[in-house]
Amino acid sequence: AGAPSHPPVDVAQSSQGVAVAEDPGSENASSPIEVARREKRIQDRELEIKNLEVLLETEAEMKRAAEGKNAELMRELEDIRAQFSGLKVSNKHLSQQIAALQEQVSGEEK
């Protein structure tokens, strides 16, 4: 008399990689439809994560580009401010020269 024989049990891999006995009476057993649905949800979530990663990288690239453009515009603004300051000085000098010439001309007319 040998050990009692057990009927063969089908074993399937769950999405977590744990072997689950395909025993219809077991609470852990999942129907093929449930497994397929679970796998589909996992695939959908993975795709959503992948899309979010792409979106995040795109936004990061846009931010870097905007920061670069901002730095470029700041340099340009500083250059324009320096030019404007130089023009104000030139204008002041010209105004002084004009005033001196007007004085000279009015002095000669007397």
Instruction: Report how many domains make up the chain.
Output: 1
Instruction: Assess if residue 62 is contained within a domain.
Output: yes
Q: What is the pLDDT of residue 94?
A: 95
Nearest CA to 12 out of 26, 55, 50 is that of: 26
Structure pTM?
A: 0.49
Nearest CA to 9 out of 17, 36, 20 is that of: 20
Mean pLDDT score, 6-16: 51
Supply the range of the domain harboring residue 75.
29-109
Instruction: Assess if residue 105 is contained within a domain.
Output: yes
Instruction: Assess if residue 80 is contained within a domain.
Output: yes
Instruction: Assess if residue 14 is contained within a domain.
Output: no
1 within 8 A of 12, measured Cβ to Cβ: no
Instruction: Assess if residue 6 is contained within a domain.
Output: no
92 within 8 A of 84, measured Cβ to Cβ: no
Instruction: Assess if residue 18 is contained within a domain.
Output: no
Instruction: Assess if residue 1 is contained within a domain.
Output: no
Tracing tokens 């589909």 back to the chain, one arrives at 40
List pLDDT tens digits, range 46-82: 999 999 999 999 999 999 999 999 999 999 999 999 9
